[in-house]
Amino acid sequence: MIQTIDLRGTRPTPASLLAAVPRALTDVATASDVAADLINDVRLRGEDALLDQAERLDRVRPAYVRVPLFHIEEALDGLDPSVRTAIEETIRRVRLASAAQVPAGVTTTIAAGAVVTQRWQPVSRVGLYVPAGKAVYPSSVVMNVIPAQVAGVASLALASPAQSLFEGRVHPTILAVAGLLGIDEIYAMGGAGAIGALAYGVPGLGLAPVQLVTGPGNVYVAAAKRLIRGQAGIDSEAGPTDILVIADDEADPLLVAADLVSQAEHDELAAAVLVTDSVSLARRVEARLTELAVSTTHSERVTIALSGSQSAIVLVDDLTVAAAFSNAFGPEHLEIQTQDPDAVLDHIENAGAIFLGPHSPVSLGDYVAGSNHVLPTNGQSRFSAGLGAYTFLRPQQIVRYDREALHAVAGHIVALAQAEALPAHGDAVTARFVDED
């Protein structure tokens, strides 16, 4: 069912590890042309394009693209009490963890009369995307909205696909959670077209362009976010999910297999990878995967994901190599199930979120850990971070010098300006002291 990559007996270099990393054959680049066409259609035809795309891709033509308030109120009234309780606890936990991500402003006195202040300024308007294709993600509403609110974003617009099972409305659980969080600007639109609409705006809907687009999605959503970067900022290209588990012979094969399957059920392109120095564990996990893939609800989807080129059991000589392989992979979710997880953690550089020990599964992070589940996929944790309050903040330096402080460094400025053949830079300083000449 799942391929084995055997790296034992080798001395892998960073380059060779990168080459050995299993990836899906379908990547963001292959979806770019389709995504570009959908975005351009929305830019040209606005609401009509969004309606046509919903009818073609979501199999329903919504009565409203801009969700009316009574849809939100009805969804709140119909929310299952147990789901509401779980969501409210998730909100509480994510709000606590997100608050820790807001840096304090700092003022530094460089010299007498020379002050530089570092402040963190929120963007004013953000577009939040919540997918609802193969599964429904009310938890993603929490993960998008809470950090933005904690950061101080003033205007939030939320987009989620129209649902054929609900007569073209946004899924009621998504609407209800948005209502709990005080979000009332919601659009029944999905996929690449929705990302384009958020970035460029749709005047006919009263949808003003946003400064930043966040949220997970499929490969077409990820491609669209890549395409609109520059018109608006993005958090990351959060496409099909992935999990990498580093485990040794002490790990429970059932728990490892269950965690791999939990992410494989998201999408046929989901990546599930075990890296271990134990052949015995590898074989026991493989057997468990076969059992679970047959019995789980989304058996066909899980089987396809586990059988794909993006999933593997990787055999290594030791846990140091396992950590190096993980760093090359750049997992969205990294689990460390070893006898001494902290020792392995010391070697980890790249990961969207890290889950230590047998009682910290990725599913915990997906819902109520307090951490955020919107994370970089497809190896992008090698150079980018998951969603947090800091995503919505921009560091700004405020420079405040008095006359004496500027005069003290005027000669340095003139010297550097002349060295760079930019004399007007120096002139702009000396002009302030003409009366002294």
Compute the distance between CA of residue 207 and CA of residue 51 in angstroms, rounded to an integer: 15
Among candidate residues 332, 335, 359, 412, the one labeled active-site is 332
Residue type for position 111:
A
Is 237 designated active site?
Answer: no
Q: How many helices (H) and strands (E) does the chain have?
A: 17, 16
Compute the distance between CA of residue 265 and CA of residue 232 in angstroms, rounded to an integer: 31
- Angstrom CA distances, 377 to 175, 190, 217, 381, 427, stand at 26, 20, 10, 7, 49
Compute the distance between CA of residue 364 and CA of residue 284 in angstroms, rounded to an integer: 24
| Binding positions for substrate | 241, 263, 266, 333, 366, 420, 425
Among candidate residues 71, 171, 298, 333, the one labeled active-site is 333
Alpha-carbon Rg of the chain, whole angstroms? Answer: 25
- In this structure, how many other beta carbons lie within 10 angstroms of the beta carbon of residue 93? 17
- Angstrom CA distances, 44 to 63, 224, 254, stand at 21, 16, 52
Ramachandran area for residue 49 (φ above 0: left; ψ -120 to 50: alpha; else beta): alpha
Compute the distance between CA of residue 153 and CA of residue 198 in angstroms, rounded to an integer: 16
| Alpha-carbon torsion (143, 206, 154, 210), positive or negative | positive
Is 185 designated active site?
Answer: no
| Binding positions for Zn(2+) | 263, 266, 366, 425
Three-state DSSP at 109 gives strand
| Binding positions | 241, 263, 266, 333, 366, 420, 425
Beta partners for residue 399, in sequence order = 116
Any residues with CB less than 8 A from the CB of 383 and at least 6 apart, and which?
none
317 CB-contact burial (10 Å; exposed 0-12 / middle 13-18 / buried 19+): middle
**In degrees, to the nearest 5, what angle opens at C-alpha 112 toward C-alphas 106 and 114?**
50
Beta partners for residue 229, in sequence order = 232
Q: Which residues are catalytic?
A: 332-333
